[in-house]
Amino acid sequence: MNINTSKELYKKAKNIIPGGVNSPVRAFNSVGGSPLFIRKAEGAYLYDEDGNKYIDLISSWGPMLLGHADPDVLKAVTETAKNSTSFGAPTRLEIEIADLITDTIKGIDKIRMVNSGTEACMSAIRIARGYTGRDKIIKFKGCYHGHGDSFLIEAGSGALTMGHPSSPGVTPGTARDTLIAEFNDLDEVEKLLKANKNKVAAIILEPIAGNMGCIPPEKGFLEGLRSLCDDHDTVLIFDEVMTGFRVAFGGAQEIYGITADMVTYGKIIGAGLPVGAYAGKKEIMDFVAPTGPVYQAGTLSGNPLAMAAGYTLLKKLHDNLSLYDELEVKSKTLEQGLKKVLDDHYISNYTNRVGSMIGIFYSNHKVTGFKGANTTNKELFRKIFHHMLERGVYLPPSPFEAFFLSNALKIQDISLIISAFEDSISSICTKN
């Protein structure tokens, strides 16, 4: 496989862009080698600058549920762009997509559009703090909510200690207001709330973790968080940037029957264009300016291209919910096929899947949180990644990222992926 053009572009990019990329995971640091520069994508396939074709298992990190370059989405964007790409003023499109979301997602009375999932999560905790008059938040180790200062915090030495900055530029003061718990550990959350009585504004989490592989909530975990938040007058925030409209139309809230006080979205509500949103109950959302005292603004918020693309995609999903059933069959087939290959070669593995999100851990531990996820065999993953790439399958370039499948995948694509995986594992085992 010739990737010389990608190598040349990466060499040039490193001179003018930090690390040669505009988001760190793209640099292939976890797997080594030179990242691919993508020229185009269509359906379930990516094409790099050298013309190589790959089956895509990232789906732009989630939003391409129907595949790349969906004709209806492209048409909506093209027609909208004829009227200009931005106005900095309200549009009918903003109302239409807000109507669709608030009418169909339980617990959401109002929604505010922003420009990214990071911005949505940053805004949500600011609103929660303003609404409750409290400063602290609880987040979970391994859950990612963007690069906001409050989220770039590592755990302290124990359950009752505060976090500390995990990135230069994050102040100790910010870290003091962020408390860290282990995902799926309800007792730890309860201890934090009791030790910080009447000080915790919000608990924020990915209800299905997707940034340490795919890790679902254990039975009773989300229910327990809901109960604890009610008892402590704390705002429960579900970060559904990855899971919203993907694992089900109503996201994780629909699957698990738990209603959060606030929900954040991104990616999919713009069908891949830059967008995010935070939403929630009327009494909380009315604290947002200009109605309330908590300030948040954005010139490009509700951009007409993103609104047109997002509305078109969400309407297609809403009007044809059987798509989720089709994707469930494909995702289950892939999960079982990959697991069988690993089992047949006696390779320790633990697999999680929720809908079209899959996480494979090369470990003999049950994975319910970051500690378990970190036991995965990173060197084995690195080898598998490159073997699969050579065979035309593009996996997430990190052992801590979930697979995202699109319904554009055909059954024969699934078979090709499993066959490539078998070849890759066989080759690795032979060399070892």
Q: Tell me what percent of the residues of the chain surpass a pLDDT of 70.
A: 97
Instruction: State the average pLDDT for the chain.
Output: 94
Looking at residues 310-339, what average pLDDT do you find?
A: 98
Looking at residues 316-325, what average pLDDT do you find?
A: 97
In which residue are the tokens 């309200």 written?
90
For residue 281, indicate whether it is catalytic: no
Closest CA to 313 of 10, 68, 16, 119: 68
One-letter amino acid identity for 309? A
Beta bridge partners of 209: 215
Structure confidence at residue 38 as a pLDDT band (50, 70, 90): very high
DSSP string for 41-107? EEBTEEEETT--EEEESSGGGTT-TT-BT-HHHHHHHHHHHTT-S--SS--HHHHHHHHHHHHHSTT
Whether pLDDT at 138 is above 50: yes
- The predicted-structure confidence for 272-305, as pLDDT tens digits, reads as follows 999 999 999 999 999 999 999 999 999 999 999 9
Whether pLDDT at 144 is above 80: yes
pLDDT recorded at residue 160: 41
pLDDT recorded at residue 139: 95
For residue 340, indicate whether it is catalytic: no
Per the CB < 8 A criterion, the answer to whether 262 and 109 are in contact is no
For Cα atoms 302, 307, 311, give the angle at the middle one, nearest 5 degrees: 145
What does DSSP say about strands 45-48 and 53-56: parallel, antiparallel, or unpaired? antiparallel
| Catalytic residue chosen out of the listed positions 56, 70, 177, 239 | 239
Q: Which domains does the chain have, with CATH numbers?
A: 4-69+321-431 (3.90.1150.10), 71-319 (3.40.640.10)
Q: Among 87-96, 125-134, 169-178, 423-432, which stretch is predicted with the lowest mean pLDDT? A: 169-178
Looking at residues 409-424, what average pLDDT do you find?
A: 98
Cβ neighbours of residue 108 under 8 Å, at least 6 residues apart? 101, 102, 263, 279, 280, 281
Looking at residues 190-219, what average pLDDT do you find?
A: 96
| Catalytic residue chosen out of the listed positions 45, 54, 131, 144 | 144
- The predicted-structure confidence for 151-178, as pLDDT tens digits, reads as follows 888 754 343 445 567 788 888 888 889 9
Looking at residues 174-198, what average pLDDT do you find?
A: 94
Cα atoms in the Cβ-side hemisphere of radius 13 Å centred on 407 = 19
pLDDT recorded at residue 329: 97
For residue 54, indicate whether it is catalytic: no
Looking at residues 228-234, what average pLDDT do you find?
A: 98
pLDDT recorded at residue 173: 82
Angle separating helix axes 378-390 and 411-431, nearest 10 degrees: 120
pLDDT recorded at residue 109: 98
Q: Tell me what percent of the residues of the chain surpass a pLDDT of 90.
A: 89
Whether pLDDT at 390 is above 70: yes
Whether pLDDT at 264 is above 90: yes
Closest CA to 127 of 111, 106, 139, 141: 111
pLDDT recorded at residue 162: 52
pLDDT recorded at residue 157: 37
| Catalytic residue chosen out of the listed positions 110, 141, 267, 383 | 267
Structure confidence at residue 126 as a pLDDT band (50, 70, 90): very high
Cis peptide upstream of residue 293 (ω within 30 degrees of 0): no
Whether pLDDT at 145 is above 70: yes
Tell me the CA distances in angstroms from 118 to 28, 274, 325, one per residue in order.
Answer: 22, 11, 30
pLDDT recorded at residue 161: 42
pLDDT recorded at residue 375: 94
pLDDT recorded at residue 167: 83
